Amino acid sequence: MGRELAKCHPSKKVHGRGLCQRCYNRWRRQSGKCTQCGEITVSKSLCSYHLANAKWDARLKRYGITRGELESLKSRQECRCAICGSQHQEGLLTALGVDHNHKTGKIRGLLCRLCNLAVGNFRDDPELCEKAAVYLRRNADPS
């Protein structure tokens, strides 16, 4: 039994509608359907669910971890920010971001957006964070 060849590129295997995978995905994007599930979309190629997952997959790949490792980290932190302890929703797509050392790439933990921005604004410098804490304590309103 021979394999069916695409009419667009006869050297490639048929993926759908008689087209190779690349041409089929292009056809789906132009038709306003998600290339993953076929759901009608307003974006060019992915429904909102698959677009969000694709973004997370790209982040995880950049950090060199798997979804399982991310879920394990979330479980250890009980879906809480590692700095302020704020609780966040269950599931992969949470408001917690992956915090990492920009020099080594090592993952430090999961932080809420505000804490992640604060750490970044202090340029990952613990001494600068300590100076800010001293400043805030010194200038705190007595209550």
pLDDT > 90: what percent of the chain?
35
DSSP letter at 78 equals T
Q: Taking phi first (over 0 means left), then psi (-120 to 50 degrees means alpha), and beta for anything else, what does residue 121 get? A: alpha
**Per-residue confidence (pLDDT) for residue 127, from 0 to 100:** 97
**Per-residue confidence (pLDDT) for residue 120, from 0 to 100:** 93
- List, for residues 4-37, the tens digit of each pLDDT value: 888 888 888 888 888 888 888 877 767 677 777 8
Terminal CA-to-CA distance of the chain, rounded, Å? 83
- Give this prediction's pTM: 0.65
- Contact between 87 and 79 under an 8 Å Cβ cutoff? The reply is yes
Rounded Cα distance, 8 and 18, in Å:
8
